[in-house]
Structure 1
Amino acid sequence: MVKPVQFEADYVVVGAGSAGCAIAARLSEDPATKVALLEAGGSDLSPWVRMPIGYGGAFFHPGLNWRYYSEPDEGFLGRKAYWPRGKVLGGSSAINAMVYVRGQARDFDLWAEAGNPGWSYADLLPHFRKMEDYAGQPSEWRGRGGPIGVRDIDGAAHPLSHAFLAAASAAGYHLNPDYNGADQEGVGFFQITTRGGLRCSAATGYLHPARRRPNLRIETGALATRLIFEGRRCVGVEYRQHGRLFEIRARREVILSAGAVNTPQLLQLSGIGDAARLAALGIETRLDRPAVGANLQDHIGFDYIFEANRPTLNAVLGPWRGRIGAGLRYLATRDGPLSLSVNQAGGFVRSDPGRDRPNIQLYFSPLSYTRAVPGRRRLLAPDVFPGFMIGISNCHPKSRGHLHIRSSDPAAPPEIHPRYLSAPEDLDELVSGAAIIRKIASQPQIAAAINRELQPGVETRTREAIVEDIRQRSTSVYHPCGTCRMGPDPDAGAVVDARLRVHGIGGLRVADASIFPSITAGNINAPAIMVGEKAAQMIREDAALPVGWGSR
């Protein structure tokens, strides 16, 4: 084997995704601190990334996307779930639907109450505000001037999105002009991460302004293969790039920000995981931690699809004439349908009044796909007739899965076992969500636009039929998290402590969605970026400690 080429940095960040971009940019603000950022993917200068609606083209793009699949899942009647994950500068923030949701204050308060000081919502609000450049009405809850552009879309949304909100209001769900403000509950237009008509990913907001700094080294096409240790301290990373093996040493710390799939994968490849399973793959155990890859959580959901009697985005994103017209408008003004997400409206509601907080997320998209395989939508191939979709997911699923490497090959995708719907409560909530969809669809404000319910169809009425439909058509909503859970006790399943240090290993932190003790309500990209902001602050605070901090 070719001897690795070595170089050094104070901090080595693995993964230029939502959290990793924030960490690398914030740490490199100090010109005396040398930061290296490793990313397995390549440049984000692609039209599928830069143009907001382009995420339809990135959904299966092999150069931008890891394109993971779960193992056949019993909850999905043996179907595999497709998991798009960003393999590009910006990570999944470069290929997602751009919906910006912080989560509920109670989500984070529960993190703190589980033994993680510093992670309550009051603690985290300054980080959310710092990362945000919100173009809406200023308030004590929102931030201005931060790296991530966030905009309201009410003035640009499709007329049917307005009709949906009027119908939801008539059904008893109050309008909320800012679900990222004082309270998440209610319905409204989604906020999206764009600026000037272009996607504002973590790479756009954090990395591009920082990349010319001489103390920041960015290596793309760099697949991390293992961590390097001296005793119980992590001192570097080995990675493969352009067919050669390299090694980078960290004078202070290695920070894993490779996401809920790749971070536990790299730990397991490096001998941190379930000793018995690692031994079966010929990997020497450095630290027996069965919790690495466990506690896997994800949101799942489904859509009810309606044929409309008036134009929808199907007429814009389907025929060539519509696409050309929308494209010309976008090129001229950076406005119009191509500057938005197709998830235009939605909200957070309770499935029954007895609940103490919202447990169902609503989605409205003014287009439809009845020909697509579940979980495999293509934004540029909607139905040839007008249609729209109302969807739901449950905010706090109880089901827990796990993932594990299938071999010692770093390029091999891991086994992913989501165990969807393994908790009966999840199925109950989704059944309740189906009733909410039909309740809203029956209101005259949106019913006037409906010819018929296409999927699952009005004949799907009994609980048994609805459950069967949920199992057949539900998909991942692409929010995997929790696989390196934060908590005070490694014997109780925690992988990192409240300062994101890996229990039992010095010089190594994890900072991405894998540290979530429990999943947050709604899309998780904003909380993932927030983890990067908070991690950078903690790393700077701990820099005052001796270089050997955390060795144990």
Structure 2
Amino acid sequence: MQHYDYIIVGAGAAGCVVANRLSANPKVSVCLIEAGGSDKSLWVKIPAGIFGLYGNKKYDYTYQGVPQKQLNNRVITVNRGKGLGGSSSINSMVYIRGNQHDYDGWAALGCEGWSYQEVLPIFKDLERNLAGQDPAYHGFTGELNVVNPQDINELARRFVQAGAAAKLPENTDFNGESQLGLGIYQVTQNQGVRVSSYTAFIEPIQQRPNLTILTNTEVFKLQITQDRVTGVELERDGVHSSLQCTREVILSAGAIASPRILLASGIGDQDELKALGLECKQHLPGVGENLQDHIDSMVTVRSPQPVSIGVSWASVFPHILPAPFQYGLKRKGWWTTNYVEAGGFAKTRYAEAAPLGSPAADPDVQFHFTPIFRSYRGRKLEMGHGYSLFTCVLRPESKGRVKLANDGRFKNLLIDHNFFSAAADQKVLIEAVKKAREILASPVFDTVRGEEMAPTSRLQSDEEILAYLRQTASTVFHPVGTCKMGVDALAVVNPYDLKVKGMQNLRVIDASIMPKLISGNTSAPSMMIGEKGARMILAAA
């Protein structure tokens, strides 16, 4: 039977960083296990390939959540990356860290060592900033490329200019002094090619003789003796096997899969485990609780002009047919788009009313602007041209849970975001739609503006907008918190070492350890967690 010093479950944003750092010591053996397969696909490499990744079960788990009571009992698809790089191989590559107060808030909850001033150097160490941004906030020698987009659509630039209509300044660095304003997003790319956690941290060192990478291999559960993990049970192509661990097992499977593995292994609430027919190895009622995500809405507008990215006779010859050649020769054209080329952060009236300088006075909504006409009917593709503005609640109060389905398999999940269970989230998202409309009403869009197709101009009152949100709002793909660190009764891991409470050699190092959701995209913060967690392991070795 094979033995490894360290077994890392999940080759996603955090897991790849951990595997890189631990395998740098040639005296230890490291096994990185990924349930998905290779990232060697044009869909993954080319930024515009995102279109073929979401919903593609080769690269996306496409989990189905439980009916959402406050969203007309709709089932929400939970898209998570399946393959080397995890969700960093299917996301929009936007580089956002979150607000300074997010991390200070973690520290205030008892997570010492996680304040903004303590995590900022880690972000900088990981980053290779090629966008010429302020060295006070950015690093230039790390593995993760951060750049400006290759070929920005004209409508994205108009969107930034439109901020003036809503008193939102242009912001060229959302990771700098302030998040407020609109701007072009920096992305994790290298000359127009996606940079994932895998390509940044594992691909350059994958030949290390002490690093083993297993793909298409799912960890079913952990082997536990008293308070130690002795190995992991695997499944590949229906064949079961196991690996033995001599030092530590690190779960980096993400906010959905990490709690599943813990629960299937008997770590969780003892009463729930008993009801599932599982022996409780460690009573931790917080496993799977505290699920948080950004709930998101959309305003989409048709355009009579073929300026946006879209399918029409007017776009075939100038854009669609030349796109492969423009990309191959110059890294220009429509294949370079990550679709959410621009965006930003704004305050609703609730944040504006909060005491100045308090966390509540920070921007409470985030925008993702897409220079394409997104379907108002739920289709993957709509013909024609237009533009869409997605808006999410940055600091949601609603909390859900991830639990095992009681079907005897210990693999299927009940994912309940519990969206809109907090009335405050409803109020903020209603105001966010109004703010989005205010921006899109700017005169800079006059020459390209057509009909508002969603929510439609007919819906204006708060009640009408809320009804629209109940029927259409969804996740923006940022689940966190299901194995949270902390000192309260629902904490799953210790803040100072990320070890699962009561366990000697089991850690969780991924977005599931966030006690509260950060104000922005979660890929870069997950890599920071991977780096900080790896340093904890090395310091104790």
The reply on whether 1:500 has 2:498 as its aligned counterpart is yes
1:250 match: 245
Say if 2:376 and 2:453, in contact at 8 Å, map to a contact too. Answer: no
1:71 match: 66
CA distance in structure 1 between the aligned counterparts of 2:320 and 2:298, rounded to whole angstroms? 24
What is the identity, as a one-letter code, of the residue corresponding to 1:369? Answer: R
What is the identity, as a one-letter code, of the residue corresponding to 2:372? Answer: L
Which segment drifts farther, 316-325 or 274-283? 316-325
2:57 pairs, out of 62, 79, 90, with 62
CA distance in structure 1 between the aligned counterparts of 2:175 and 2:409, rounded to whole angstroms? 38
1:357 match: 362
Which segment drifts farther, 240-249 or 390-399? 240-249
1:133 match: 128
Say if 1:283 and 1:408, in contact at 8 Å, map to a contact too. Answer: no
CA distance in structure 2 between the aligned counterparts of 1:345 and 1:520, rounded to whole angstroms? 19
Alpha-carbon distance change, 301 to 188 in structure 1, aligned in 2, over 3 angstroms: same
CA distance in structure 1 between the aligned counterparts of 2:178 and 2:540, rounded to whole angstroms? 33
SS at the partner of 2:310?
A: helix
What is the identity, as a one-letter code, of the residue corresponding to 1:521? Answer: S
What is the identity, as a one-letter code, of the residue corresponding to 1:537? Answer: R
Say if 2:33 and 2:214, in contact at 8 Å, map to a contact too. Answer: yes
CA distance in structure 2 between the aligned counterparts of 1:261 and 1:409, rounded to whole angstroms? 19
Residue 368 of structure 1 and its aligned partner are, at CA, apart by 1.1
Residue 534 of structure 1 and its aligned partner are, at CA, apart by 0.6
- Correspondences of 1:503-522 after superposition (within 5 Å): 503-522=501-520
CA distance in structure 2 between the aligned counterparts of 1:210 and 1:294, rounded to whole angstroms? 36
Structure 2: segments with no counterpart, 5+ residues? 355-360
Alpha-carbon distance change, 408 to 252 in structure 1, aligned in 2, over 3 angstroms: farther
Residue 420 of structure 1 and its aligned partner are, at CA, apart by 0.1
1:460 match: 459
CA distance in structure 2 between the aligned counterparts of 1:438 and 1:530, rounded to whole angstroms? 35
1:324 pairs, out of 313, 321, 326, with 321
SS at the partner of 2:96?
A: coil
CA distance in structure 2 between the aligned counterparts of 1:370 and 1:242, rounded to whole angstroms? 37
2:357 match: none
- Cα-to-partner distance string for 1:189-248 (whole Å, 9 max, x where unaligned): 111111121100000101101110001011111110111112111122111123322222
What is the identity, as a one-letter code, of the residue corresponding to 1:268? Answer: L
Root mean square deviation, CA, Å: 1.6
Alpha-carbon distance change, 43 to 459 in structure 1, aligned in 2, over 3 angstroms: same
Residue 409 of structure 1 and its aligned partner are, at CA, apart by 6.0
What is the identity, as a one-letter code, of the residue corresponding to 2:503? Answer: I
Residue 447 of structure 1 and its aligned partner are, at CA, apart by 3.3
- Correspondences of 1:115-514 after superposition (within 5 Å): 115-138=110-133, 139-153=135-149, 156-315=151-310, 322-352=319-349, 353-355=352-354, 356-370=361-375, 372-373=377-378, 378=380, 381=381, 383-407=382-406, 412-489=411-488, 492-498=489-495, 499-514=497-512
Say if 1:17 and 1:89, in contact at 8 Å, map to a contact too. Answer: yes
SS at the partner of 1:450?
A: coil
Alpha-carbon distance change, 357 to 317 in structure 1, aligned in 2, over 3 angstroms: farther
Alpha-carbon distance change, 316 to 129 in structure 1, aligned in 2, over 3 angstroms: farther
What is the identity, as a one-letter code, of the residue corresponding to 1:34? Answer: S
What is the identity, as a one-letter code, of the residue corresponding to 1:395? Answer: L
- Cα-to-partner distance string for 1:453-501 (whole Å, 9 max, x where unaligned): 1111111011110100111111110111100011023xx2100011211
2:91 match: 96
Residue 320 of structure 1 and its aligned partner are, at CA, apart by 6.0
CA distance in structure 2 between the aligned counterparts of 1:371 and 1:408, rounded to whole angstroms? 36
Structure 1: segments with no counterpart, 5+ residues? 1-5, 544-552
Residue 448 of structure 1 and its aligned partner are, at CA, apart by 3.5
CA distance in structure 2 between the aligned counterparts of 1:161 and 1:170, rounded to whole angstroms? 15
2:538 pairs, out of 530, 537, 540, with 540
What is the identity, as a one-letter code, of the residue corresponding to 2:373? Answer: S
TM-score calculated relative to the size of structure 1: 0.93
TM-score calculated relative to the size of structure 2: 0.95
1:546 match: none
What is the identity, as a one-letter code, of the residue corresponding to 1:506? Answer: Q
The reply on whether 1:30 has 2:25 as its aligned counterpart is yes
The reply on whether 1:523 has 2:517 as its aligned counterpart is no
Say if 2:160 and 2:170, in contact at 8 Å, map to a contact too. Answer: yes
SS at the partner of 2:92?
A: coil
Say if 1:23 and 1:532, in contact at 8 Å, map to a contact too. Answer: yes
SS at the partner of 2:202?
A: helix
SS at the partner of 1:75?
A: helix
Residue 371 of structure 1 and its aligned partner are, at CA, apart by 5.4
Alpha-carbon distance change, 110 to 371 in structure 1, aligned in 2, over 3 angstroms: closer
CA distance in structure 2 between the aligned counterparts of 1:149 and 1:311, rounded to whole angstroms? 32
- Cα-to-partner distance string for 1:73-95 (whole Å, 9 max, x where unaligned): 01211101111111100000001
- Cα-to-partner distance string for 1:66-124 (whole Å, 9 max, x where unaligned): 11111110121110111111110000000111111100010001101111111001110
- Cα-to-partner distance string for 1:243-276 (whole Å, 9 max, x where unaligned): 3222222221110000000000000000011222
Say if 1:14 and 1:37, in contact at 8 Å, map to a contact too. Answer: yes
- Cα-to-partner distance string for 1:46-74 (whole Å, 9 max, x where unaligned): 11111111111111111111111111101
Say if 2:163 and 2:181, in contact at 8 Å, map to a contact too. Answer: no
SS at the partner of 1:152?
A: coil
Which segment drifts farther, 241-250 or 61-70? 241-250
1:46 match: 41
